Structure 1
């Protein structure tokens, strides 16, 4: 494979910045251009819900540096791509490429009806600052969604003394962490003042501007602050007509190749195709996967073997002030096969052995390094 004379990365996401840095680490000396639409430049998103909502000083610690890499950054928005001509069009011009890495990430999924004003989400630094300011004056809050983000936002509300109710059809984190851990998480959250409402169907936003949540039975819950935490959607609109994206995002193989010559993808915009070990095909928009795929995409652009797979079964979250680290496949179900400690006391090391020989290890409120957890899960 001929080394490309130029590499174009669309997206200043964690995956995009990781790919740029990995290209240089692997010795690539050619031109790298990054198209980025984020006015703040590249930054890390996990701290938005974990620290920025609680601490204004955290805003300054999020940056992902590119200025030491000899990279050209175009502050604009991609609007299309011609894979035959190998050209990406943008609001402020067009960019030719020899190799392209798609890393445009995802955006918060919104559920407001057309024209309904005031929906609040958390995906960007501006979103986090807006929520933080609203929390300062709020006397009550509703979080729609009991997933990782929803529980972190609810925890931030509780930490600031704002009474908060979490609404979802599922119990907290049950879909990925199973009933055993969900019960422990729910109990801890309730002890810290977080309330839960189990909706028997999909809830919608009420008011214009939004002032509450309408439940399937017609009941309306109101609050000063209402936050939608209903997942995310891959940013693929600019790829319309290119054949690179579908409803799930951009499909990739284990080399982060899209199947189109010279085009690779990494991060939250992607999903691993079914014939690449994911059955059914499924998105996994976690921080560790974005890093892994950024590195794999960079190696593949240069025709080099990747140092590891395009997935990394590690993530961590914080619920009501308690850190939870997980290494291994998800979801987990049933009781753990091994337990050291007591989740009810907020400190436990839990292991789920799986039929395929792999294990999932959870450090629940324990200070355990990722390396130590990986060793236990291997």
Structure 2
């Protein structure tokens, strides 16, 4: 290969570029990114950046010295609009084309939006620009904040807003936040962190509509509609109407209802697409010269939107790309973490409905983790399948290593992974 193009300039794209150089590729390296920003870390956006404890310089994933060492052509602020697999060219929104021998797809995912979310005061939190806009709004004294969605982004954002002194309510359509990945017992324990943090948690009901001053709110009852572009600033949001008829007053609404993989630009290509780019266990698509990594990649039947996956997949993907065939596979134990209300939640493994849960360390007090946290083991047929920790990092890392060493062929509960 003389030219490799990495489409996506975020975490997984940067790691892929690093792997290309470290694995011996010395040809032309092109990195395409739709944002104008150089690669930055997303996890702090909902935490330290939102609360003002970290500025933008703390988010940078690379520096001038490393960028020089990568010797890449950075095409930032431009979207890829197509992939011509026959002519091996990447088509860009500005009319340019990039001829390439290999492609790493790392275009990530975009936040899902609610119909009618063009109201002023309605936010998603996926990008640096999203975080800038939300942070600017949260500095204007105490606000009534409604967070729609109790997953990791929603919970972390709610925690940050509560820490800033705002009146926060979290709305979750499921019976409990994180019930699919954690199961009902441990999901209830983690849900208690909201109560401990002074945040109201409303579960088991969806959102019917957003209300706004004047004529702005959509009355569409489908809260899972497709992403749509923001229109010009209009009336301000004043409330959230729930599917059970209740209305929650709101000055700020944060929508955290998941993300959609950015595959639209691949429509018309020969690649197989289904909730992501379909890949084998080595991140290789139906074409050996095209691999996919990160949030956009459905690897071996599973799409995992986690920092760990985005950093571990590129090593294997690049090795296979340079070899021209699948010579390695991704075998890491799924892992994620979340910081909420001063507590660190860590989870590793693959939980299924039949698993039993045993508290190996710590206690549960009034439904919440006791002082000092807890370590819970998920077990099936006499073996540990997953581990959950709240503020027990050392024993968790030990259990995670043991889990990795004993990993064998197991079935994946894809619904749990896809709905974080």
- Are 2:21 and 1:24 equivalent residues in the alignment? yes
- Are 2:72 and 1:45 equivalent residues in the alignment? no
1:344-359 alignment runs, 5 A limit: 344-346=369-371, 347-355=373-381, 357-359=383-385
Structure-2 separation of matches of 1:333 and 1:123: 34
Q: What TM-score do you get using the length of structure 1 for normalisation?
A: 0.90
Cα gap change, 1:373 to 1:87, in 2 (>3 Å): same
Indicate the residue corresponding to 1:172 in structure 2: 177
Shift of 1:334: 6.1
Structure-2 separation of matches of 1:200 and 1:44: 33
Any gaps of 5 or more consecutive residues in structure 2?
Answer: 217-235, 407-420
1:1-378 alignment runs, 5 A limit: 4-65=1-62, 67=67, 68-75=69-76, 76-92=78-94, 93-113=96-116, 118-137=121-140, 138-170=142-174, 171-207=176-212, 208=216, 209-272=236-299, 276=300, 281-303=301-323, 309=330, 311-330=332-351, 335-343=356-364, 344-346=369-371, 347-355=373-381, 357-368=383-394, 371-377=397-403, 378=406
Range 235-244 or range 93-102, more displaced = 235-244
Q: Deviations over 1:250-270 (max 9, x none)?
A: 111112111124111111011
Please identify runs of 4+ aligned residues in structure 1 that moved more than 6 A: 304-307
Matched residue SS, 2:393: coil
CA RMSD of aligned residues (A): 2.3
Q: Deviations over 1:92-138 (max 9, x none)?
A: 31001101111000011101238656531000011112112212224
Contact kept, 8 Å, 1:105 with 1:268, in 2: the verdict is yes
Q: Deviations over 1:34-57 (max 9, x none)?
A: 011211111111111132111253
Shift of 1:311: 4.9
Range 314-323 or range 182-191, more displaced = 182-191
Any gaps of 5 or more consecutive residues in structure 1?
Answer: none
Structure-2 separation of matches of 1:266 and 1:14: 10
Shift of 1:186: 2.2
Structure-1 separation of matches of 2:74 and 2:167: 43
Contact kept, 8 Å, 1:177 with 1:331, in 2: the verdict is no
Contact kept, 8 Å, 1:8 with 1:99, in 2: the verdict is yes
Structure-1 separation of matches of 2:14 and 2:382: 34
Indicate the residue corresponding to 2:226 in structure 1: none
Shift of 1:184: 1.6
Contact kept, 8 Å, 2:121 with 2:252, in 1: the verdict is no
Structure-2 separation of matches of 1:129 and 1:309: 35
Range 234-243 or range 108-117, more displaced = 108-117
Matched residue SS, 1:143: strand
Contact kept, 8 Å, 1:292 with 1:310, in 2: the verdict is no
Structure-2 separation of matches of 1:77 and 1:310: 32
Structure-1 separation of matches of 2:25 and 2:395: 32
Matched residue SS, 2:346: strand
